[in-house]
C-alpha cells in the first residue's frame, strides 16, 4: 500500500482518498481514487525499451482514432517511474462501462477496432522484440512468451487421454493426422505472413464500452508484443464467438462472421492469409485450452467420449469460407 502511495505522488500532488491493491504477485496493480477520478497504478518487471515502445505504439494508435488509454505523465513530465525493480505507469480510467455479456454491437466494434489496429501496425516502424501469448511454433522449451505454444500443449493434453480410447482409435488417429498436417502447412509460411506490434490481449475484459456498444477505451499493455496478425484475429474471433457470454439470437458461427466481416472492412486479408485461414481457424478452435480442459475432464469421467471425438474431427474439417 505504501509503495503505491509513494509512487502515485510522483504523478499527482493531490492526496488519494482511497488506494486498493488489486494484484501484488509478479506485478503490482493498484486502484487509486482521486476526487472524482480513478487511476490504475501498474508496476511491471519490464525494460525501459519495452515501456518506451508501448508509449510510441499507443501514441500512434491514438493518432488514428483507436482509443488506447494513454499513460499519464509524472509531475516532472515523465511517463513512468523506476523503483524497487519495477517500472511503474499510471492509466486514468476512461468513460464507459465494463461488459460481461456481449451483444452484436460489441462483437462488431471489437472486430472493427482490431482490424484498424493491425492496419495501423503495418505502417509503424515500431517493434517490441518480444512475442505474445497468442504465439505458436515457439517450441515449448520454456514458459516464456515466444517459446510457449498453448495450442500445441492443448493438443498434446487432449491426445494423452483420447489415445486411451481403444474403441475410437481410428477416429483419434484421424484427428491427430489432420492437426499435424495443418500445423505443418502453417509452419512453412508462418514467417512470411503479415505481422507487427499489437496490444496483445484485445478482449472485452481490457475494454470499456458506451451504451450503444462502441469501444471507449482499451487498456493494459503488459503482454504487448509482435504477432502474426491473422493469428490474433482468429484467436480473438474464436474467443468472442464460442467462449464468451452473449446476449442475442445469433449462433456461434454467425457471431464469428460478424467479427470477421467487421475486421475485413478495416483490413482485408492478403492472398497469403486467405490461403491458410481455414487451417489456422481449425487448429485454434479445435484445441483452444478451455475447450480442451472441459473435454479432457469429461473423457476421464467416461462421458460422451464418442460425441466429443466426433466434434473435434468435424471442427478440424470445417471451412469458414
The confidence score (pLDDT) of residue 130 equals 87
Give the pLDDT of residue 55: 95
Q: Give the HSE-up count for residue 280: Cα atoms under 13 Å, Cβ half-sphere.
A: 27
Domain around 233:
104-317
Same structural domain, 182 and 246: yes
Sign of CA dihedral 108, 109, 112, 114: negative
In 87-226, which residue ranges form alpha helices assigned H by DSSP? Answer: 104-121, 150-162, 169-189
Residue 187 and residue 79 share a domain: no
The answer to whether residues 47 and 157 belong to one domain is no
User: How many Cα atoms occupy the beta-carbon half-sphere of 51 within 13 Å?
Assistant: 19
**Cβ neighbours around 7 below 10 Å, total:** 23
Asked whether residue 270 falls in the same domain as residue 161, the answer is yes
First to last CA, the chain: 53
Q: Is residue 97 in some structural domain? A: no
C-alpha cell, 64: 488514428
pTM: 0.92
80, part of any domain: yes
Can you give the CATH number for the domain in which 246 is found? 3.90.1200
The domain boundary residue, chosen from 61, 92, 123: 92
Model confidence over 232-264: pLDDT tens digits?
Answer: 999 999 999 999 999 999 999 999 999 999 999
Number of domains within the chain: 2
Element (H, E) at 40: strand 37-44
Helices and strands per DSSP (H, E), number in the chain: 10, 9
Q: Do 147 and 64 share a domain, yes or no?
A: no
Q: Based on the domain organization, do 291 and 184 belong to the same domain? A: yes
Determine the Cα–Cα distance for residues 32 and 8; give it in Å rounded to an integer: 8
Alpha carbons 133 and 64: distance in angstroms, whole number: 25
Query: What CATH number is given to the structural domain containing 73?
Result: 3.30.200.20
The residues of the chain scoring below 50 in pLDDT are: none
Domain assignment of residue 269, yes or no: yes
CB atoms within 10 A of CB 178: 19
Q: What is the DSSP letter of 191?
A: G
Q: Report if residue 99 sits inside a domain.
A: no
Return the residue matching grid coordinates 474439417: 317
Judge whether 222 lies within some domain: yes
Q: Tell me what pLDDT residue 146 has.
A: 62
Q: Which three cell numbers stand for residue 76?
A: 516532472
pLDDT at 249: 96
Amino acid at each position: 500500500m505504501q509503495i503505491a502511495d509513494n509512487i502515485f505522488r510522483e504523478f499527482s500532488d493531490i492526496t488519494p482518498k482511497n488506494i486498493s491493491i488489486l494484484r501484488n504477485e509478479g506485478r503490482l496493480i493498484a486502484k487509486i481514487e482521486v476526487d472524482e477520478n480513478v487511476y490504475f497504478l501498474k508496476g511491471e518487471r519490464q525494460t525501459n525499451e519495452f515501456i518506451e515502445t508501448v508509449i510510441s505504439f499507443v501514441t500512434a494508435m491514438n493518432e488514428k482514432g483507436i482509443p488506447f488509454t494513454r499513460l499519464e505523465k509524472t509531475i516532472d513530465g515523465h511517463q513512468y517511474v523506476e523503483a524497487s525493480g519495477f517500472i511503474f505507469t499510471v492509466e486514468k480510467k476512461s468513460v464507459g462501462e465494463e461488459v460481461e455479456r456481449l451483444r452484436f454491437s460489441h462483437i462488431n466494434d471489437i472486430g472493427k477496432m482490431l482490424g484498424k489496429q493491425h492496419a495501423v501496425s503495418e505502417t509503424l516502424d515500431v517493434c517490441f522484440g518480444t512475442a505474445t501469448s497468442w504465439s505458436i511454433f515457439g517450441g515449448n522449451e520454456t514458459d516464456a512468451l515466444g517459446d510457449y505454444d498453448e495450442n500445441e500443449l492443448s493438443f498434446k493434453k487432449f491426445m494423452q487421454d483420447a489415445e486411451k480410447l481403444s474403441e475410437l482409435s481410428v477416429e483419434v488417429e484421424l484427428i491427430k493426422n489432420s492437426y499435424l498436417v495443418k500445423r505443418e502447412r502453417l509452419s512453412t509460411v508462418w514467417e512470411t505472413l503479415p505481422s507487427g506490434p499489437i496490444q496483445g490481449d484485445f478482449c472485452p475484459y481490457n475494454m470499456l464500452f458506451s451504451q450503444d456498444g462502441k469501444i471507449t477505451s482499451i487498456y493494459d499493455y503488459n503482454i504487448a508484443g509482435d504477432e502474426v496478425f491473422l493469428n490474433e484475429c482468429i484467436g480473438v474471433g474464436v474467443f468472442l464467438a464460442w467462449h464468451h457470454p452473449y446476449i442475442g439470437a445469433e449462433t456461434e458461427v454467425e457471431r464469428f462472421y460478424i467479427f470477421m466481416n467487421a475486421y475485413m472492412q478495416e483490413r482485408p486479408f492478403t492472398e497469403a492469409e486467405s490461403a491458410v485461414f481455414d487451417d489456422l481457424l481449425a487448429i485454434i478452435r479445435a484445441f483452444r485450452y478451455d475447450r480442451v480442459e472441459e473435454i479432457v475432464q469429461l473423457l476421464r469421467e467416461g462421458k460422451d467420449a464418442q460425441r466429443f471425438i466426433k466434434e473435434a474431427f468435424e471442427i478440424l474439417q470445417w471451412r469458414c469460407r
